[in-house]
């Protein structure tokens, strides 16, 4: 995370863990465009691949699969 005083386009997204089924939220910079990354579940700590489709700063779809 950068703290340089510029306007970050952070969105909070809610994802559901494919392992344990718990949902948690994640901060995402939508100004970067579509992204795919691996995060560890906040509940069971297992990894998952999160693919986010972003068009013009708008989130169009979120896909979560086991990593
Ligand atoms: Zn989990």
Asked, for residue 1, whether it belongs to a domain, the answer is no
Mention every residue, 6+ apart, whose C-beta is less than 8 A from residue 4: none
**Is it the case that residue 41 has pLDDT exceeding 90?**
yes
Q: How far is the CA of 20 from the centre of ligand 1 (A)?
A: 4
Query: Could you tell me the pTM of the whole model?
Result: 0.82
**Which pLDDT band, with edges at 50, 70 and 90, does 8 fall under?**
confident
Give 61 Cα–ligand 1 centroid separation in angstroms.
Answer: 20
User: Is residue 5 assigned to a domain?
Assistant: no
Whether pLDDT at 49 is above 60: yes
Q: How many CB atoms within 10 Å of residue 49?
A: 14
35 contacts: CB under 8 Å, gap ≥ 6: 28, 51, 52, 54
Structural domain count of the chain = 1
pLDDT at 9: 83
Residue 23 Cα to ligand 1 middle (Å): 8
Q: Residue 53 has which token pair?
A: 């489709």
- What kind and span of H or E run contains 10? strand 10-16
In this structure, is residue 36 part of a structural domain? yes
Pairing type for strands 47-55 and 23-29 reads unpaired
Domain residues for the domain of 22 are 10-66
Rounded to the nearest angstrom, the distance between the alpha carbon of 50 and the centre of ligand 1 is 13
Q: How far is the CA of 9 from the centre of ligand 1 (A)?
A: 27
- Residue 27: pLDDT band (50, 70, 90) is very high
């Amino acid at each position: 995370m950068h703290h340089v005083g510029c306007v970050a386009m952070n969105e909070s997204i809610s994802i559901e863990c494919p392992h344990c089924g718990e949902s948690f939220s994640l901060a995402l910079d939508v100004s970067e465009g579509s992204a795919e990354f691996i995060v560890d579940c906040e509940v069971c700590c297992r990894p998952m691949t999160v693919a986010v489709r972003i068009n013009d700063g708008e989130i169009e779809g979120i896909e979560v699969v086991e990593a």
